[in-house]
Each structure stands twice: as structure tokens, then as C-alpha cells.
A = this chain, B = another copy of it.
Amino acid sequence: MTVLEQSGAYHLAPPPAWRPRRDAAPLLPDREPYRLLGTGAELDDDLLRELYGQLVRGRRFNEQATALTKQGRLAVYPSSTGQEAAEVAAALALREQDWLFPSYRDTLAAVARGLDPVAVLSLLRGDWHSGYDPRETRVAPLSTPLATQLPHAVGLAHAARLKGDDVVALAMVGDGGTSEGDFHEALNFAAVWQAPVVFLVQNNGFAISVPLAKQTAAPTLAHKAVGYGMPGRLVDGNDAAAMHHVLTDSVERARRGEGPSLIEAVTYRVEAHTNADDATRYRDAAEVTAWREHDPVNLMERELRTRKLLDDAGVREAAEAAEHMARGLRERMNQDPDLNPADLFDHVFAKRTTQLQQQADQLRAELAASEAEHVRQDGKTGEDA
């Protein structure tokens, strides 16, 4: 839309404040999702094996958690089946001192990072809102209100930088979450502050029932990066090697002080949104089948076999390790958690207020009364029987 010089033209200086700003071209994502598997690229054998083991365990974890939900041992489980590559790569791309900011779907990333799975499942089991110490584990609580964890990650990364610490924050969000105002505000703050944050969007095609086409008209979600002045990266989210590569790259870039990045992982939610959801209402089985052909675990197995890094025995071994993990999880989750109603009042403030003390006393009295009642009734029943 440039106007050619014509007669009648005279020189006009550009608007004074105008200086052509940062070039946008390097910020634009690739035209196709980045991939490594199947490309014959040089890759670290140990890393591939490690990723494979984690993927197999991750898949098994998802299955086990879903089963426990059916048995009433979890209140709800949003499975990451089909998304294990992104989950696992997120965990492995971080160093010890880095922080992970997962959403409600990212139990697996926290587990792959080495957290106690029972503690990570606390929210979804329903014994408390979060079950581990974020400062000790450097994993923020699983976040349910969409995209709200993103500004937290920015604030934490910025704080670490202010203190001169070498810490990167990796924040995870879904395709649906990118529509929330908090997504926008977080990315903008991160870019302005050049905070060491990596934003990982798992585009799994749906926000519950709403497909991506109703969520955005953007060329890709990675294109959103340009509007904040950070690079956008588009990756095959089911290619664990590509995910690991791009995540590590972005994390180390942030660590070097070169600022935040946005990564879109193209993947698919193979299961329903949660156990409570009925996905047949809004999508075709054919679509799911097609994606099963692009399964992150299978892709990695095939790659390893191609590279002669895996044989049937290795597959069996990985499955057994996963089964062992699942058994342990099952056993521990089948025990009722220790609940203490006094917890309800102890962490609202640093110190109970007068009112909270009164309420704690009230509840204690109520519980004592109902226990007494039970004892009385049990006694009676005993007599009756």
C-alpha cells in the first residue's frame, strides 16, 4: 500500500516519534510444525531412550488415573493421553532450579519432573487443593482458572531475575486458554520485562467441546507471539524429540537473557475433556482414529526401532517399569487420605482471626457431637443385632 511519488509531492519528515521498530520477520513461526522424528536428524541416543521411557510411563499413568477416577478414587481426571510428548518434554527441558507452571491437565508434566504422583493428584483426588510444596519442588499448583497461571510465571521469572538468580519459568496453557485476557497480559508483561519465561500452548484441538476454528482465526496460535514482540515457534506436539529440542532451545534462550518465547505444540486430546465429558457429542470418532495413527508413544517407538535403539525386549521392559509405577500408584491411591478438618481454618490467614477460631471451635463441637451420636447409635445397633 505504498503511494508512488507523483508531481505535487513534497518532502515531509516522518512522524517524530516514529522509528521503525524491531523487525517482525524473525518472530514469525515456521509454516509447518517443526519435527525431528522421521527426519533422520542427528539426535542424542540417551535422550531418545529417556523420552521413550517417560512416554510409556506417562501413557500408563494417564490410564491408571482414569481407571482410579472410574473407581471413585479421584473426583475428576483431565487426561493428557495423546499429549504425553509435550508433557514429558516440558519436564525434561527444565533444569533443577527452573519452575514449571502447569494447568489442571498437566499432572503428567509434574510427575515426569519427579514429583510424588499422589501429591500431584491431591487436587483431583479432592483431599486438598494442592498437595506439594511449590518452593521445594519448583512446580506451581495445578491451575484451574484458565490462563491465570501465566502472569504468575512471568512475575516469578522476573523476580528471580531481579534477584540475579538463574531461573527460567515454563508455563503451560491450552488452546482455549489463549483466548483469555490473562494470556494477553502475561505475554505482554513478559516481553516488556524481557522475563525468562517460555509459554507452551498445547493446541489439542479443543476447549472441552469447542474446536480451534471457533476459538481463533489466527494463522496459527504461534503467530500471536509477533504482537508481543517475541518469537513464535510451531512444533509437532506429538514428536517428543522436536518438543524437547524446541523447548530446550527456548528455555536456554530465556536463560541467556534473550527474553520470552511462545511455542504452539500441535497435538490432540485423544480422550474426552475429563471423565465427566461425552466427546461423542461434538466430534467424530474418525478424527480420533486418525490421530491415534500419530500417537506420540508409537512415533517414538518407531524412531527408536529405526535407529536400532529398541527391540521387543526393550519395549517389554519399558512396559513393565510402567506397570510397576501404576501398581504403586494404585495401592497408594486406594488408601483413604488422612483428613484433618482443622486444616480448613489454619491457612486462610497466617493467624486465625477471632471469627475463624470461633468457627473452628464450632466445627470441633459439631464433630464431637456427631461422633457421640454415632457411638450411641452403633451401641444401639449392636444391641439390636
Instruction: List, in ascending order, chain B residues with CB within 8 A of A34's CB.
Output: 1, 3
Digitize A15-46: 1 where CB-to-B-CB distance is under 8 Å, 0 elsewhere. Answer: 11110111110011011111111111110000
- Are B179 and A293 in contact, CB atoms less than 8 angstroms apart? no
Q: Which of B7, B216, B228 contacts A228 (CB 8 A)?
A: B216
- A291 located at the interface, meaning its Cβ lies under 8 Å from any Cβ of chain B in the complex: yes
Stretch with Cβ within 8 A of B (4 or more), from A180-188, A313-321, A362-370: A180-188
Digitize A120-143: 1 where CB-to-B-CB distance is under 8 Å, 0 elsewhere. Answer: 000000000000000000000000
Q: How far is the CA of A4 from the CA of B35 in the complex (A)?
A: 11
Number of copies: 2
- Using a CB-CB cutoff of 8 Å, which residues 217-237 of chain A contact chain B? 217-220, 223-230, 233, 236-237
- Are A228 and B217 in contact, CB atoms less than 8 angstroms apart? yes
- A214 located at the interface, meaning its Cβ lies under 8 Å from any Cβ of chain B in the complex: yes
Looking at chain A's contact residues, the main secondary structure is loop
Q: Which of B2, B18, B191, B214 contacts A216 (CB 8 A)?
A: B191
Q: How far is the CA of A71 from the CA of B227 in the complex (A)?
A: 43
- Are B215 and A219 in contact, CB atoms less than 8 angstroms apart? no
- A95 located at the interface, meaning its Cβ lies under 8 Å from any Cβ of chain B in the complex: no
- Are A32 and B16 in contact, CB atoms less than 8 angstroms apart? no
Q: Which of B16, B20, B228, B259 contacts A290 (CB 8 A)?
A: B16
- A287 located at the interface, meaning its Cβ lies under 8 Å from any Cβ of chain B in the complex: yes
- Are B191 and A18 in contact, CB atoms less than 8 angstroms apart? no
- A12 located at the interface, meaning its Cβ lies under 8 Å from any Cβ of chain B in the complex: yes
Q: Which of B6, B15, B217, B259 contacts A40 (CB 8 A)?
A: B6
Q: How far is the CA of A31 from the CA of B25 in the complex (A)?
A: 11
How near does chain B come to A242, taking the closest CB pair, in angstroms?
A: 9
- Are A185 and B179 in contact, CB atoms less than 8 angstroms apart? yes
Known: A227-B224, A266-B18. A191 touches B217 (CB 8 A): yes
Q: How many residues of A are counted as interface, with CB atoms below 8 angstroms from the partner's CB atoms?
A: 82
Q: Indicate the member of A30, A184, A212, A224 with the most B CB atoms within 10 Å.
A: A184
Q: Indicate the member of A215, A220, A225, A266 with the most B CB atoms within 10 Å.
A: A220
Instruction: List, in ascending order, chain B residues with CB within 8 A of A225's CB.
Output: 227
How near does chain B come to A232, taking the closest CB pair, in angstroms?
A: 9
Instruction: List, in ascending order, chain B residues with CB within 8 A of A36's CB.
Output: 3
- A75 located at the interface, meaning its Cβ lies under 8 Å from any Cβ of chain B in the complex: no
- Are B24 and A219 in contact, CB atoms less than 8 angstroms apart? yes
Instruction: List, in ascending order, chain B residues with CB within 8 A of A268's CB.
Output: 15-17
How near does chain B come to A175, taking the closest CB pair, in angstroms?
A: 11
- A384 located at the interface, meaning its Cβ lies under 8 Å from any Cβ of chain B in the complex: no
Q: Which of B11, B38, B307 contacts A38 (CB 8 A)?
A: B11
Q: Which B residue sits closest to A193, measured CB to CB?
A: B217
Q: Which B residue sits closest to A6, measured CB to CB?
A: B40
- Are A9 and B229 in contact, CB atoms less than 8 angstroms apart? no
Q: Which of B30, B39, B41, B227 contacts A226 (CB 8 A)?
A: B227
Instruction: List, in ascending order, chain B residues with CB within 8 A of A31's CB.
Output: 20
- A-B contacts, 8 of them at CB < 8 A, read A14-B33, A15-B266, A16-B294, A17-B287, A22-B217, A179-B185, A184-B185, A216-B228
Further 10 A-B residue pairs, CB within 8 A, beyond A184-B184, A184-B185:
A2-B30, A3-B41, A6-B41, A15-B236, A15-B291, A24-B223, A179-B184, A181-B181, A183-B184, A218-B227
